[in-house]
Amino acid sequence: VEVITPGTAIEDDFLEHGANNYLMSVCVLEGRCCIAYMDVSTGEFRAHASDEKENASEWFRSELFRIAPREILVQQSLLEQPSIGQAVRECAAVVQAHPDWMFDIAHAADVLQRHFGVASLRGFGFDRNDPEIAAAGVLLEYAEDMLRQPCIHIRSLLRHDDGAYVSLDEATRKNLELVRNLTDATRRDTLLAVLDLTRTAGGARLMRRWMLQPLRKKAAIESRLEGVSFFYHHQLEMAETRKLLGSVLDMERLLSRLAMNKAHAKDLKALGNSLEASLSLFAYLKDCNAAGSGIRMLSDDLREEIASVAALLARAILDEPSILLNEGNMIRNGYNPELDRLRALHQDTQGVLERYLEEEKNNTGIQNLRIRYNRVIGYYLEVTRGKLDQVPEHFIRRQSLVGGERYTTEKLAELEHQIESAQDRIIELERKLFLAIREEVQRSLASMTECAALVAEIDCLASLAQAATANGYVRPSIVEEPILDIQNGRHPVVEQCMPYGAFVPNTLSLGADAAWFALITGPNMAGKSTVLRQTALIVLMAHMGSYVPAESATIGLVDKIFCRVGAQDNLARGESTFLVEMHETAFILNTASSRSLVIMDEVGRGTGTLDGVAIAWAVTEYLLENIRCRTLFATHYHELTGIEHPGLRNMRMAVIEREGMISFPKRLESGISSGSYGIHVARLAGLPQEVIAQAAALEHRLRSLERGLAVIHSAANEASNEPSRSDSRHAMAKNEEKHTERSLSLFSQEDLVIARLKGIDPLKTTPLEAIQILSELAAMLKQ
């Protein structure tokens, strides 16, 4: 009996190529959220728990979406907690509720110790009393229960070390479109699609992990950068390495099938070939002195062991073996003398059969006599209807057909027995030999797993070097200080969608001269979101150990990256646009540290203008005063440019106005944007001329109403009593007026009057209204 669930499947047909297939468990014990996750198809097994200080449900949500399990075992009582239950329902995994009593730490510790054959879990970095042990124990028992056998390829339980990785929460991963795009949730137009040029399935899975878990420690990042740099500077070697990688199949998954006793002869053949290809790869890299340049090599012991496994498989298994155990056709000639003897006998018996047929042909004179075989009656002699009168007496009839008769003879039955027993013996012997080989190969499971991990790593390094070469990236310089200096940076994904050289690079420098907060203003379509996201992506790529799309980049280490885009609905979660936005903003303000990178786009947009400005203003001040982390804050609330703080730098997206036409060169520069040019963008989008003109006229009127905003300003001034701020706000109000005039000057008054006239339906206009319109039009023309 085999039970297949989404999280315990190990057959290729059920698995996604290039992504892990995780089974996960979660419980809350001692006030901490504990999770464990395992990929049965590759043998990975990890556990960890949230910090006591952390918000357990937020933490869980972030981990859940990072891991993206196919199946999840949940402590029963947790499903009743709204936030956790909701997250579990959203993640599209199959959910299995487990009674609370099953999450027992002591029992789980026993299960794990027994499984790993250790007296203590300390070697894995766990204590017997750690609550996450309970989640791990439940997971292992469940997997073994489903698979009906011990998972011997799961050889260690690793602690997912939060401190080793830059934390990226769910919304950030989504907004940055790392592995799925926001449009149709596929891999198209994602960072992964640009960087993942790996040649092996194991490499593809690892690349995804590297992207979702960028490194936090300088030494670890530098080591990866060294590896990428080796390939980047040795292009021929990179090409050859990638070619060799092309012959490596999915070793991790082959190994898990081997461990589960599910590998058939074709799997073993594939494994043998992949091991050989891996050995050639390491030998090649050794020849080019790659060791010591961030590329981890196979140790001599391991190489010997793997070479002997590969040699065994090459010697033993046929090139095109059967995938069934009870058909023979698996083992090579020359591997086992007894098998060779039986095969010779079998082949000779076939010859005897042919000689016997000749004999009977001569005896009977039936020249078209044939010997055939079917499963029901075995071997038989077939005589066509026209020759039936030549059939001799010793032919025993077995079957009559329309076209003839089937016979056996004593001699034929005797021959059949000989053939079948030889065949049976061959099949049985092949089966035994195969199982013995499989067992022998299983003994090297740990070494082969290590080899597969090293190959995946090399694949990722070569893939990053290939992407850097193809797209013109540079090696970032990683520093401890909270600096961000990107010269002529580009968006790695957007630039791919444009003709070569069409993307406008941008320079951004924060932290070096004390300003760490960039407040970016600019009209819609001017390129704000792109420059924001490209900065986050460049920082993330640097932390992955990748080269980055820029002319040069100095990146100070970050501990967390947050990327928020205002106004996105989450109807599935039952939250309004604005609630989602505030929820996410709260999360950032409560979680970010001075080492984080915060990217906020249009915060406060989901509500009315007055409270939107007020919230954006307060959030900015809080980030500047309390968190003091590197921040890029894009806003269309020009009022915010009135905030004065030594940490804040006003930046804007350039706008070029020439002869009444406006263009956005997508260039980031110092200064304050002079307006939002919404009407201009509407015209670019092709709104009818009348609508545009009417909107321009209305904007003019609304601007005067907007002076009401001064109420906030004066209130804020009174609260802070800072003369410098009120001065700058005054300057800002003037700025606004100038902008309105400019926006109106795009259209002549005559245009506006004509547009207004076109909009009137005389049949629906009362005489009184007509007089009002007339005086309005006259006033417009006088202006």
| d(C-alpha 12, C-alpha 257), whole Å | 10
Among 655, 693, 650, 639, which residue's Cα sits nearest to residue 523? 655
- Which residue has tokens 């076209």? 403
Q: Is 273 in the site for ligand ADP (CB under 6 A)?
A: no
Q: Is 290 in the site for ligand ADP (CB under 6 A)?
A: no
Q: How many residues does the chain have?
A: 783
Q: How many residues of this chain interact with ligand ADP, rule: CB under 6 A?
A: 12
Least distance between ligand ADP and beta carbon 527 (Å): 3
Q: Which parts of 721-782 fold into alpha helices (H)? A: 723-745, 749-758, 767-782
- Which residue has tokens 């070390």? 161
| d(C-alpha 289, C-alpha 295), whole Å | 10
Are 457 and 228 within 8 A, CB to CB? no
Question: Which of 572-575's residues contact partners 24+ apart within 8 Å by CB, and which partners?
Answer: 572/90, 573/86, 573/90
Among 530, 596, 631, 676, binds ligand ADP (CB under 6 A): 530
Q: Judging by DSSP bridges, how do beta strands 517-521 and 630-635 pair with one another?
A: parallel
Nearer to ligand ADP, 47 or 504 (CB): 504
Binding range to ligand ADP, per CB under 6 A, among 59-67, 237-245, 270-278, 520-528: 520-528
Binding range to ligand ADP, per CB under 6 A, among 107-115, 172-180, 521-529, 721-729: 521-529
Binding range to ligand ADP, per CB under 6 A, among 58-66, 214-222, 286-294, 525-533: 525-533
Nearer to ligand ADP, 174 or 560 (CB): 174
Are 331 and 318 within 8 A, CB to CB? yes
Q: Is 529 in the site for ligand ADP (CB under 6 A)?
A: yes
Nearer to ligand ADP, 65 or 562 (CB): 562
The CA-to-CA distance between both ends of the chain, in Å, stands at 88
In the chain, the amino acid numbered 337 is P
Among 511, 527, 612, 675, binds ligand ADP (CB under 6 A): 527
Binding range to ligand ADP, per CB under 6 A, among 390-398, 517-525, 541-549, 625-633: 517-525
Task: Report the helix count and the strand count for the chain, using DSSP H and E.
Answer: 25, 23
Nearer to ligand ADP, 321 or 522 (CB): 522
Q: Return the DSSP state at 5.
A: -
Are 132 and 160 within 8 A, CB to CB? no
CA 749 from chain center: how many Å?
55
User: Which positions from 473 to 502 touch ligand ADP by CB under 6 A, shown as an x/- string?
Assistant: ---------------------x--------
Least distance between ligand ADP and beta carbon 531 (Å): 7
Q: Is 637 in the site for ligand ADP (CB under 6 A)?
A: no
Binding range to ligand ADP, per CB under 6 A, among 368-376, 527-535, 617-625, 723-731: 527-535
Least distance between ligand ADP and beta carbon 638 (Å): 14
Q: Is 504 in the site for ligand ADP (CB under 6 A)?
A: yes
Are 508 and 532 within 8 A, CB to CB? no
Least distance between ligand ADP and beta carbon 525 (Å): 5
Nearer to ligand ADP, 192 or 526 (CB): 526
Binding range to ligand ADP, per CB under 6 A, among 64-72, 319-327, 477-485, 523-531: 523-531
Nearer to ligand ADP, 115 or 666 (CB): 666
Q: Is 522 in the site for ligand ADP (CB under 6 A)?
A: yes
What are the DSSP E strand ranges found in 566-622? Answer: 597-601
* Bridge partner residues of 32 (DSSP): 29
Among 57, 167, 273, 524, binds ligand ADP (CB under 6 A): 524
Tell me the three state secondary structure of residue 285.
helix
Nearer to ligand ADP, 293 or 530 (CB): 530
Handedness of CA 740, 742, 748, 751 (dihedral sign): negative
User: Which positions from 161 to 200 touch ligand ADP by CB under 6 A, shown as an x/- string?
Assistant: ----------------------------------------
Nearer to ligand ADP, 242 or 666 (CB): 666
Kind plus residue range of the DSSP H or E element containing 25:
strand 23-29
Least distance between ligand ADP and beta carbon 507 (Å): 11
Q: Which two tokens stand for residue 437?
A: 């080989």
DSSP 312-368: HHHHHB-SS--S-TTS---BPTTS-HHHHHHHHHHHHHHHHHHHHHHHHHHHH--TT
Least distance between ligand ADP and beta carbon 524 (Å): 4
Binding range to ligand ADP, per CB under 6 A, among 35-43, 186-194, 386-394, 522-530: 522-530
Least distance between ligand ADP and beta carbon 186 (Å): 19
Least distance between ligand ADP and beta carbon 494 (Å): 5
Least distance between ligand ADP and beta carbon 508 (Å): 12
Are 458 and 245 within 8 A, CB to CB? yes
Are 508 and 516 within 8 A, CB to CB? no
Least distance between ligand ADP and beta carbon 597 (Å): 18
Q: Any residues with CB less than 8 A from the CB of 619 and at least 6 apart, and which? A: 585, 589, 600, 603, 604
Nearer to ligand ADP, 635 or 717 (CB): 635
Q: Is 674 in the site for ligand ADP (CB under 6 A)?
A: no
DSSP 195-232: H---SSHHHHHHHHHHHHS-B--HHHHHHHHHHHHHHH
Nearer to ligand ADP, 202 or 527 (CB): 527
Q: Which two tokens stand for residue 737?
A: 């007026």
| d(C-alpha 226, C-alpha 218), whole Å | 12
| d(C-alpha 292, C-alpha 230), whole Å | 10
Binding range to ligand ADP, per CB under 6 A, among 86-94, 507-515, 528-536, 706-714: 528-536
**Residue 753 zone, left/alpha/beta (φ > 0; ψ -120 to 50; rest):** alpha
Least distance between ligand ADP and beta carbon 308 (Å): 55
Nearer to ligand ADP, 216 or 490 (CB): 490
Q: Is 503 in the site for ligand ADP (CB under 6 A)?
A: yes
Among 97, 525, 712, 754, binds ligand ADP (CB under 6 A): 525
Handedness of CA 122, 128, 129, 130 (dihedral sign): positive
Least distance between ligand ADP and beta carbon 495 (Å): 8
| d(C-alpha 307, C-alpha 313), whole Å | 10
| d(C-alpha 244, C-alpha 280), whole Å | 8
Nearer to ligand ADP, 475 or 667 (CB): 667
Q: Is 682 in the site for ligand ADP (CB under 6 A)?
A: no
Least distance between ligand ADP and beta carbon 502 (Å): 6
Burial (0-12, 13-18, 19+ Cβ within 10 Å), 764: exposed
* Bridge partner residues of 484 (DSSP): 510, 555
Are 138 and 103 within 8 A, CB to CB? yes
Nearer to ligand ADP, 318 or 525 (CB): 525
Backbone angles phi, psi at 90, to 5 degrees: -75, -25
Binding range to ligand ADP, per CB under 6 A, among 4-12, 234-242, 264-272, 518-526: 518-526
State how far the alpha carbon of 688 is from the alpha carbons of 132, 415, 422, 685, 695, in Å: 62, 93, 88, 9, 11
Least distance between ligand ADP and beta carbon 660 (Å): 22
Among 214, 228, 220, which residue's Cα sits nearest to residue 597? 214
Among 66, 115, 253, 666, binds ligand ADP (CB under 6 A): 666
- Which residue has tokens 């001065």? 727
Residues 553-582 that bind ligand ADP (CB under 6 A): none
Least distance between ligand ADP and beta carbon 309 (Å): 51
Positions in the binding site for ligand ADP (CB under 6 A): 494, 503-504, 522, 524-530, 666
